Structure 1
Amino acid sequence: MLSGQERRNQIRTQLQTTDTPISASKFAKQFGVSRQTVVGDIALMRASGEAVVANFNGYTYEQVSSDQTAKIVCRHTRAQAQQELELIVANGGKLLNTIIDHEIYGEVTGNLNISNMTEVKHFITKLKRTDAHLLSELTDGVHLHTIAYRTDADLAAIKQALQDADILFLG
């Protein structure tokens, strides 16, 4: 059986050599430990400055990107969540996170890292299967997304598509 440090070294290596998120459950099975042990390993790695990012579908190692980023404000119902994600991805964007302004906790961020339609489908399937709540449901649908994009034309197309769908929040 591996020591905790050896396990964390293997987790680091695997995350650094793939773009595909790896779940705590998958690591747990691989190393013969509990999921919670892996969650603890990840927490220790992050506390020591490791660039491990938790996403809806597992962990990734933060990748350096040349993309530009912007924050956009959206408002929609739960039923429009898939449409919002699809419009952003279809127009060249990558959803990095969702941010809400919570009345007690202040700014609350959920990492997404959704960059293609397969990931959109996976997110929506998981949302439906778990019957989980969107962060935006806590704020009457209002939320921010940090999105990555390559060109100013991509950002303009994303905003226009969201505005046309009455999702872009204009106040």
Structure 2
Amino acid sequence: MTSTERRSQIQSVLSTSQSPISASQLARRFGVSRQTIVGDVSLLRAGGEAIVATIRGYEYQHKAVHEVVLVCRHFPNDSADEMRRIVEAGGVIEDVVVDHPLYGQLKANLQVRDIGDVNLFIAKMKRQNAHLLSELTDGVHMHTIAYDTPAQLRAIQASLREAGYLYEDHE
């Protein structure tokens, strides 16, 4: 199989999958290295494919009914609570963005949909001794949140506000 054929097959597999597929799973399926799959997906993205990397693997980006960008601020040890509040109120945390003084906007796709994703993210962060992007900006960060109804958005905002995580103008 040529690399072009493999990328076409990857595209087909991802477009028909009901759940994310890891680079390792795709590598086993196609008999190549994980890094080859990462490169293939990068080339597919560069070609315009709406493939996102999630905590559970690659998938095609889902279009939400509604999206909002919320500005939050908290300490690193509050991350699990912030994420839990958002997903329990019905939101999907699509990404995190920080405004870095040197690099400008830094963005990471998250696609955190449920408590399982929250737990997986936090466990992976601890296992890898990783740092949050918000640590670069004194805890200030933005999330694009997908939601279905205005009531969900109000619940998300109220929960974040109650915890003191929602960064708002208090003038």
Distance 2:73 2:155 in 1: 18
Aligned to 2:94: 96
Given the superposition, is the C-alpha separation of residues 19 and 141 from structure 1 closer, same or farther in structure 2, using an over 3 Å criterion? farther
TM-score (norm 2): 0.94
Distance 1:38 1:128 in 2: 26
Deviations 1:109-131 (A, max 9, x none): 10011111111111111111111
Q: Which runs of 4+ in 1 moved over 6 A?
A: none
Contact 2:55 2:117 in 1 (8 A): no
Deviations 1:35-81 (A, max 9, x none): 1111111111111111111223321112233x100000100111100
Aligned to 1:70: 68
> Aligned to 1:71, what secondary structure does the other structure show?
strand
Distance 2:23 2:7 in 1: 12
Distance 1:143 1:72 in 2: 8
Aligned to 1:33: 32
Distance 2:111 2:155 in 1: 19
> Aligned to 2:63, what secondary structure does the other structure show?
coil
1:149 corresponds to 2:117 = no
* Gaps in structure 2 of 5+ consecutive residues: none
Distance 2:84 2:146 in 1: 14
Aligned to 2:160: 162
Aligned to 1:129: 127
Aligned length: 169
Deviations 1:58-110 (A, max 9, x none): 21112233x10000010011110000000000111110100100111111110
> RMSD between aligned alpha carbons?
1.2
TM-score (norm 1): 0.94
Distance 1:73 1:19 in 2: 31
> Aligned to 1:54, what secondary structure does the other structure show?
strand
* Gaps in structure 1 of 5+ consecutive residues: none
